[in-house]
Structure 1
Amino acid sequence: MEHFAVVVGAGSFRSDDGDAIRFPHRWTSEGVTVEADFTGAHLFHLAAAGCVLNDVYREAGGLGIRIDGVRVSAEGGFDTQTWISSGITYRVELSSPASGDELAMLLDRVDDVAEIPRAIRAGTTVRRS
């Protein structure tokens, strides 16, 4: 089982690594940074991490919670013979003046509504047309 890890950051958690890729972001003026290799396995995990980061900002805005920074790390394994995933584990770090209870509620909400993790959990088909 080979492991594949990615990190996305925004605000005070943007990466200063010169190899990090920078993208514009609708919720942050400085954009986001992405630390990931360009392989299918990394991109799979990046989709989940990026969605969680976006949804932290979206849901926080709706709840009136100020977010100064977000870092989402996602990783998981693949059997490189079959390319069956062992699943994705993600971790969120937040910088915010909000209380621990408010941030816990925010992260629970994000875990419930984040579209890409929900789609991956539900399973889907992929077909070439």
Structure 2
Amino acid sequence: MELSSLGVSATAGALRDPAGVLLHHRWTKEGVRVSPIDNGGQMLHLSVALCVLNDTYREAERLGVSVDGIAVEADGSFDDQWRSTGIEYSVTLQSEAPAEKVQHLMAVVDQVAEIPRAVRAGAPVRRRA
């Protein structure tokens, strides 16, 4: 997936990019690398990418699928009123598991990942007085 200026990546394990910001991570000893994070649009997209990465590790453990490395890219755009026009993400997963198990894992993650689910539902955001 070719990323726009609002696109981001989150990587871990054997696919961890040496560039970017290092975040401590519950599922990996080496942490996760994320980049870039220069503006609010990228932060929104990064929340999707990190959630998918986290939930891939969690669901892989539950389903007995090995994860040797993962790279999640998320991207999207905004209209002239700065409303999101949608977010797309892609996952590259390095695993010794059979392809059908990996495909099942990715389908489960797409259903349970909390941030994509919240964005899809159009949750309201309000400032407290």
Amino acid at match of 1:95: Q
Match of 1:34 in 2: 34
Amino acid at match of 1:88: I
1:3–1:23 distance in 2 versus 1, CA, 3 Å: closer
> Deviation digits for residues 25-83 of structure 1, max 9, x if unmatched?
1111100000123211000000000000000000000011110011000000112x300
RMSD of aligned Cα (Å)? 1.1
Match of 1:8 in 2: 10
Structure 2 SS opposite 1:86: strand
1:59–1:109 distance in 2 versus 1, CA, 3 Å: same
- Between the two proteins, the alignment pairs up a number of residues equal to 125
Q: TM-score, normalised by structure 1?
A: 0.93
Structure 1 SS opposite 2:6: strand
- Measure how far apart 1:128 and its partner are: 0.7
Match of 2:84 in 1: 85
Structure 1 SS opposite 2:103: helix
8 Å Cα contact 1:3-1:78 kept in structure 2: no
Q: TM-score, normalised by structure 2?
A: 0.93
* Aligned structure 1 segments of 4 or more residues deviating by more than 4 angstroms: none
Identity %: 47
8 Å Cα contact 1:12-1:68 kept in structure 2: yes
- For structure 2, which runs of at least 5 residues remain unmatched after alignment? none
- Are 1:113 and 2:112 counterparts? yes
- For structure 1, which runs of at least 5 residues remain unmatched after alignment? none
- Measure how far apart 1:3 and its partner are: 5.0
